[in-house]
Amino acid sequence: MSDIKKIKDEFLNKLDSDLNIEILNQIKTELFGKNGKISNSFKSLGSLPNDERKKFASDLNSIKEELQEKINSKLQEIEIKEINSKLENEKVDVTLPEREFNRGKIHPVSQVIDEISSIFSEIGFSVEEGPDIENEHYNFTALNTPDNHPARDMHDTFYLDNNKELLLRTHTSPVQVRTMLNGKPPFKIIAPGRTYRSDSDQTHSPMFHQVEGLHIDKDINMGHLKGCLNYFIKSFFEVDKIKMRFRPSHFPFTEPSAEVDIGYELKNGKIVIGEGDKWLEILGCGMVHPNVLKNVKVNPDKYQGYAFGIGIDRLGMLKYGINDLRAFFETDYRWLNHFGFDPLDVPSNYRGLSR
Amino acid sequence: MKFTISWLKEHLDTKIQDNSIIEKLTDIGLEVESFENLNSDLDNFKVAKIINAEQHPNADRLRVCDVDIGQENNVKVVCGAPNAKKDLLTVYAGPGSIIPKNNMKLSISKIRGVTSYGMLCSESELNLSDESEGITELKTAKYSNKVGENFFKNKNEKVVDLSITPNRPDCLGVRGIARDLAAAGAGKLKNISNSNIKKNGSQKIKVSISKEKNQGCTVFGSCLITGVSNKESPKWLKEKIISLGQKPISAIVDITNYIMLDLNRPLHAYDADKIDREIIVRNSKKGETFEALDNKEYKLDDNMCVISDKSGVLGLGGVIGGTRSGTEINTKNILLESAYFIPRSIRKTSKILNIDTDAKFRFERGIDPQSIELGLSKAAELISEICGGKISNFDVQKADEYEKNKIKFNVSLFEKITGFKVDDNEIVKILTDLGFEVSKNKLELDLKIPTWRPDITQPIDIVEEIVRIKGYNNIETLEPEKNKIKDTLNKQQKLFHFLQRSVASKGYFETVTWSFTDSKINNFFKESLKEIKIVNPISSDLDVLRNSIFTNLTFYLKKNLDRGFKDISLFEIGPIFKNSKPGEQLTVIGAIKSGKVSRLNWNEKERPVDVFDVKKDVIQTLVEAGYDRKSFFIRDKSPSYYHPGKAGSVYLDKDDIEPVAYFGDIHPNIIKKLDIKTEGLVGFEIYLDHLKENKIKLKDQKPNFEYSDYQKSERDFAFIVDKNFKAQDLIEIISSIDQNLIRSIKIFDIYEGENIPDGKKSIAINVIIQSSEKTLEETDLEKINKLIISTVETKTGAKIRS
């Protein structure tokens, strides 16, 4: 017994010292190898008298376990030490730049169109579209603007043929005509899209964007029009209060017609929407003219409603502080990067228009 | 439409403040463009006296004048006028003044070595007359004690500029504006004073309106004024004309203009002695010519309304007069015309001849047909007052009787349209103030429409009149109802928005460019599509509708490269045009990528962008949109603007006729011709209209979740195939061998060169084999291995590389 106790003490002592893996393996062999001290002790079991054998065997086993455990923990200790010493040589400069990533951008016009669609979706409008090339009938005549009407001069039109039959639409209103001709009332639509006028200076560009709105049902009146636009403007500019002014105006396709101004003030050279004593015209609207309804086979005695047209680019300029309309269409990489939106910023009803 | 507040008050009896008038105008739909003090610039013009005038030392024709401008010191002014003499009273403009005639701003300047502090002005420079020979000479009696005072006296006069919508011709005259304001409670409309002119004898020049189809004139009123002496207008009239930014010409012309601005009643004055016997209002015949007052010769078409005499055309009725019968300063006898021309006819004629005049602008919007005699008597009165002369009786020829329009108006329509109620009596008052004749008939109002309101034709117009006068602020703001009739977006629109953001998320900047473009660039990309010319382009390099998105993208890419950017990714989603009819357009995504990947990167090797960059972007985009990569089929055909060997097209399915996308290198010749300098230029296009609806929709239940936990095995193969052999075919052949066992196939190496015969290449693939029923044994694997090799070899002529 004292022999194995001696072995135990001796080796536990050895194992407590600072060891490397080779010495540890050597110790293992010394103990448990073929002629190892513990192995040999087991071999001597057979020569012991019966009464001693049992006790010896049990002591030996517990010593064996204790040593093995010690060796295992020592082994782990050494391995961890080795990994740690290896890691010290693996240090990188994490301040070096990450691998390249390319962030794309959504054009402000597209973002604004998505914002508009999201807002009108909330109050039940669906989105319609129409062709960029229109004929004279859909763009003018059906909209109560016959050829001899001076209101045609309000639009500088691009023509595609000498008879002035085919043209680039000067507004999104022809979508009203197409929608109503192709369906039955009620109608509750918006129609965003490209529009064209042969006009080009600081504040006009030959192509721009409009969103048309149309709501026709049995009892839609000017109060609904006002409510709808008030809701839209407030939601769009993400303000609680908005100063809004309806002014009588004239469009051949609406009667009565109105232009809508919103209040603003100038702060540090930027337009701030909502309060203030200055007025900014932002859209035209009115009750759809009975002649237009007749032209699209809707009975004006049964149905009535409103239409509006808003300049999308201008809305974007106001909301996002963009000064130059022409820059929208000039594809300056720096401008796109500056005013563009992250593609993951999708305006929606539930998460709101902006972050 | 410009007018001064004081002029307005000649028609409107009002005590309200100017600013309230301005607000009121806006409230009733007469949009105020500007409201400002008249010509504050004109304060710089002073009455001045030349104290001394000496010869300029360096110029024979110039004089150096000492000028008294009412200040402590005289100023030195260099002047070239022959009449610049000592003691002359004239008009001095100091430095900073803007000369009315040419809008030139004066500064202190050296003229031939002598500094001149301002300028002495001629009447022409002040827009007072055409007199430009010398400087203005002011009468001593009137001006001698006014040296230093402002020459222009309108200091407190305020000018309003309205933008009048085309439906309101009546408000092209000051009186019409006053009437609207009065109806809106801003004052009382004054009565027009009865003229008490003496008319003697008949109008001796015979006038006739010929009876013919499309006669553009329905009424022609005239009177003869004999023995006039035309002259400069008196100051009050000149100032009225000037205050509206127009130029006084002569009393007769100024008076007709004044009546037009005051009452919106255009008139025309002929020199009666130049009329050959009689006036005939008739349709023109093709080829007739005349010289108009704008000094241009016009060649007429058929059926234009002309005023003619026995010798030919005198003028275009309601559009422009002719030089042959124009009044001049020495005109003795005048024939005054006050007529009604049909708007449609005026518009047609002026469009064809491209003439825009004040008269045309008014007649095409509709002049009050019952203002003919009023106009004649007002003008005749002023002419005889200023120029003397005898007035004949009025001659009014009518081709058509005018009747007032009538409308039955059911008052309930007002509330139905506007959503609020106005008391019946108030409605009657508003309409009466606007000039309607109203009689009440139970629930309806019988209305006679004022003759100056051609825009009012049906009950809805009456609603507008009432609501605009009552005020739009009375309209309630109703909460929007949220009920939906239809989904917000349809399938195609959802796809549009999805793809737009999907492409952007791959590092592309979205741009929006014109739908039109430069035909020279468009030609590179138009393929077999028709060129669609714009008849009236904004400029010659934006002359066609685009047949491809690449046209503008390459143009703007170059601009950005020229700005010093190198690695650019741009895309646009929008229309391209196939033909010129409505609807002959396609919605396309065009994307373009230039330069290098990982340029100047510390841990990755840089390389030019290549076809597989854009192939990845296009395929990933389609997969994200829900299309199945496994059924895609790639062909090596692409439009001619792509590199013939480094571009392809994507079909959603092998059997599809039309590709949904193209991708590849842009053709090097185009890059060269467009002078684009970059290391690489690749692009792709996705045709949204060719993308079929997905069979599997997001809302559908997903298939059962099945998986296998049995062991996977991987096997590598290398086949030697013809150089032109397509990898896609190899994958297709192998994947169809046993779809239950072959889970994935990956190409991990392509090799040509040493150890590979000429004209051949080696494709190395990795195949993952797994059963969903059992763990495959070595014999099973061996079997499938052999099958893969033998199938590929027999079907393609490939050889396994040992």
pLDDT at site B586 = 97
Class assignment of domain B40-143? mainly beta
Are the CB atoms for B651 and B598 separated by under 8 Å? Answer: no
Distance between CA A37 and CA A298 in Å, rounded? 108
Whether chain A has a CB inside 8 Å of the CB on B530: the answer is no
Spell out which residues of chain A touch residue B516, defining contact as CB-CB under 8 Å. Answer: 158, 206-207
Query: A230 and A144 in one domain?
Result: yes
Look at the domain B2-38+156-189 and name its fold. Phenylalanyl-tRNA Synthetase; Chain B, domain 1 (3.30.56)
Q: Select from A87, A117, A139 the last residue of a domain.
A: A87
Whether chain A has a CB inside 8 Å of the CB on B487: the answer is yes
Query: A124 and A8 in one domain?
Result: no
pLDDT at site B38 = 63
Q: Name the DSSP class of B775.
A: P
Query: A126 and A71 in one domain?
Result: no
CA distance to partner chain A, nearest, from residue B509 (Å): 5
In CATH terms, the superfamily for domain B713-800 is Ferrodoxin-fold anticodon-binding domain (3.30.70.380)
Range(s) within chain B of domains with CATH label 3.50.40.10: 206-398
Closest chain B residue to the Cα of A220, Cα to Cα = B417
Residue contact B480–A343, C-beta within 8 A: no
Of all helices (H) and strands (E), which one includes residue B356? none
CATH of domain B206-398: 3.50.40.10
Distance between CA B598 and CA A144 in Å, rounded? 59
pLDDT, tens digit (0-9, with 9 covering 90-100), for B525-551? 999 999 999 999 999 999 999 999 999
- B41 pLDDT more than 90: no
Residue with more model confidence, A246 or A355: A246
Distance between CA B453 and CA B461 in Å, rounded? 11
The reported pTM is 0.84
Beta-bridge partner residues of B345: none
Query: A152 and A20 in one domain?
Result: no
Query: A180 and A62 in one domain?
Result: no
Q: How many domains does chain A have?
A: 2
Find the CB nearest A110 among B510, B552, B563. B510
- B40 pLDDT more than 80: no
pLDDT, tens digit (0-9, with 9 covering 90-100), for B620-678? 999 999 999 999 999 999 999 999 999 999 999 999 999 999 999 999 999 999 999 99
Q: Is residue A97 a part of any domain in this protein?
A: no
Segment A31-57 mean pLDDT: 81
Are the CB atoms for A55 and A24 separated by under 8 Å? Answer: no
The range of the structural domain enclosing residue A16 comes to: 2-87
pLDDT, tens digit (0-9, with 9 covering 90-100), for A104-142? 999 999 999 999 999 999 999 999 999 999 999 999 999
For residue B690, the Cα-to-chain-centroid distance in whole angstroms is 34
pLDDT at site B155 = 56
Q: Is residue A353 a part of any domain in this protein?
A: no
Find the CB nearest B417 among A96, A99, A304. A304
Question: Which one, of B573, B684, B514, lies nearest residue A331 by Cα?
Answer: B514
Whether chain A has a CB inside 8 Å of the CB on B473: the answer is yes
pLDDT, tens digit (0-9, with 9 covering 90-100), for B444-466? 999 999 999 999 999 999 999 99
| pLDDT classification of A46: cutoffs 50, 70, 90 | confident
pLDDT, tens digit (0-9, with 9 covering 90-100), for B776-791? 999 999 999 999 999 9
Say whether the peptide bond before residue A186 is cis (omega within 30 degrees of 0): yes
Find the CB nearest B598 among A100, A110, A332. A100
pLDDT, tens digit (0-9, with 9 covering 90-100), for B284-339? 999 999 999 999 999 999 999 999 999 999 999 999 999 999 998 899 999 999 99
Token representation of residue B767: 């195949």
Spell out which residues of chain A touch residue B598, defining contact as CB-CB under 8 Å. Answer: 100
pLDDT at site A201 = 74
Query: A313 and A207 in one domain?
Result: yes
Residue contact B509–A340, C-beta within 8 A: yes
pLDDT, tens digit (0-9, with 9 covering 90-100), for B547-568? 999 999 999 999 999 999 999 9
Range(s) within chain B of domains with CATH label 3.30.56.10: 2-38+156-189, 406-470
Range(s) within chain B of domains with CATH label 2.40.50.140: 40-143
Whether chain A has a CB inside 8 Å of the CB on B270: the answer is no
Q: Is B313 helix (H, G, I), strand (E, B) or coil?
A: strand
- Give me the amino acid identity at B799: K
B-facing residues of A in 99-128 (CB < 8 A) are 99-107, 109-110, 114, 117, 120-127
Residue contact A96–B603, C-beta within 8 A: yes
Token representation of residue B29: 């739909």
- A39 pLDDT more than 90: no
B-facing residues of A in 194-223 (CB < 8 A) are 194, 196, 198-200, 206-207, 219, 221-223
Query: A152 and A48 in one domain?
Result: no
Report chain B's mean pLDDT, rounded to a whole number: 92
Residue contact B575–A166, C-beta within 8 A: no
CATH number at A297 reads: 3.30.930.10
Whether chain A has a CB inside 8 Å of the CB on B583: the answer is yes
- Quickly count: other Cβ atoms within 10 Å of residue A26's Cβ: 14
For residue B190, the Cα-to-chain-centroid distance in whole angstroms is 39
Distance between CA B181 and CA B543 in Å, rounded? 48
B-facing residues of A in 217-256 (CB < 8 A) are 219, 221-224, 226-228, 230-231, 246-250, 255-256
pLDDT at site B523 = 96
pLDDT at site A265 = 86
Residue contact A247–B504, C-beta within 8 A: no
- B103 pLDDT more than 90: no
Residue contact B514–A207, C-beta within 8 A: yes
Residue with more model confidence, B178 or B138: B178
CA distance to partner chain B, nearest, from residue A118 (Å): 8
Whether chain B has a CB inside 8 Å of the CB on A141: the answer is no
Token representation of residue B732: 């297709």
Query: A158 and A54 in one domain?
Result: no
pLDDT at site A16 = 83
Alpha-carbon distances, residue B254 vs B73, B107, B184, B231, B242 (angstroms): 40, 33, 32, 10, 10
B747 φ, ψ (degrees, to nearest 5): -85, 125
CATH of domain B491-690: 3.30.930.10
Whether chain B has a CB inside 8 Å of the CB on A346: the answer is yes
pLDDT at site A61 = 86
Query: Dmax over Cα atoms in chain A, in whole Å?
Result: 132
Task: Count each helix (H run) and each strand (E run) in chain B, helices first.
Answer: 19, 42
- A1 pLDDT more than 60: no
**E-assigned strand segments in B366-498:** 390-391, 395-398, 406-410, 437-441, 444-448
Q: Is residue A346 a part of any domain in this protein?
A: no
Q: Is residue A42 a part of any domain in this protein?
A: yes
Find the CB nearest A221 among B418, B479, B480. B418
pLDDT, tens digit (0-9, with 9 covering 90-100), for B717-730? 999 999 999 999 99
Alpha-carbon distances, residue B238 vs B50, B55, B234, B247, B248 (angstroms): 26, 35, 6, 8, 6
Residue contact B515–A194, C-beta within 8 A: yes
pLDDT, tens digit (0-9, with 9 covering 90-100), for B261-289? 999 999 999 999 999 999 999 999 999 99
Whether chain A has a CB inside 8 Å of the CB on B600: the answer is no
Among B31, B509, B519, B602, which would you mutate to test the A interface (most chain A Cβ atoms within 10 Å of its Cβ)? B509
Q: What is the DSSP string of A308-331?
A: EEEEHHHHHHHHHT---SGGGGS-
Whether chain B has a CB inside 8 Å of the CB on A80: the answer is no
pLDDT at site B143 = 86
- B154 pLDDT more than 70: no
Whether chain A has a CB inside 8 Å of the CB on B472: the answer is yes
CA distance to partner chain B, nearest, from residue A267 (Å): 23
Spell out which residues of chain A touch residue B604, defining contact as CB-CB under 8 Å. Answer: 99-100
| pLDDT classification of B519: cutoffs 50, 70, 90 | very high
Among A139, A168, A333, which would you mutate to test the B interface (most chain B Cβ atoms within 10 Å of its Cβ)? A333
Contacts by A267-275, CB closer than 8 A, 24 or more apart? A270/A321, A271/A318, A271/A321, A273/A237, A273/A239, A273/A242, A273/A318, A273/A319, A274/A237, A274/A239, A274/A241, A274/A242, A274/A243, A275/A241, A275/A243
Closest chain A residue to the Cα of B583, Cα to Cα = A131
Spell out which residues of chain A touch residue B489, defining contact as CB-CB under 8 Å. Answer: 117, 126-127
Q: What is the ipTM of this complex?
A: 0.88
Say whether the peptide bond before residue A256 is cis (omega within 30 degrees of 0): yes
Q: Select from A87, A117, A151 the last residue of a domain.
A: A87
Count of residues making up chain B = 802
- A38, A39, A45, A47: CA torsion to nearest 10: -110
Segment B723-748 mean pLDDT: 93
Distance between CA A249 and CA B175 in Å, rounded? 20
- Give me the amino acid identity at A279: W
Whether chain A has a CB inside 8 Å of the CB on B55: the answer is no
Whether chain A has a CB inside 8 Å of the CB on B434: the answer is no
Class assignment of domain B406-470? alpha beta
Segment B569-589 mean pLDDT: 96
B-facing residues of A in 59-78 (CB < 8 A) are none
Residue with more model confidence, A345 or B132: A345
Query: A77 and A45 in one domain?
Result: yes
Segment A165-174 mean pLDDT: 95
Residue contact A333–B500, C-beta within 8 A: no
Q: Which residues contact B95 (CB under 8 A, 6 or more apart)?
A: B106, B107, B108, B117, B118
Token representation of residue B205: 């020049």
Are the CB atoms for A114 and B497 separated by under 8 Å? Answer: yes
pLDDT, tens digit (0-9, with 9 covering 90-100), for A176-214? 999 999 999 999 999 999 999 988 777 789 999 999 999
Find the CB nearest B535 among A124, A126, A161. A161
Distance between CA A66 and CA A322 in Å, rounded? 78
A to B CB pairs, distance under 8 Å: 256
Residue contact A290–B458, C-beta within 8 A: yes
Closest chain A residue to the Cα of B364, Cα to Cα = A150
Residue contact A206–B542, C-beta within 8 A: yes
Among B463, B464, B598, which would you mutate to test the A interface (most chain A Cβ atoms within 10 Å of its Cβ)? B464
Of all helices (H) and strands (E), which one includes residue A72? helix A50-87
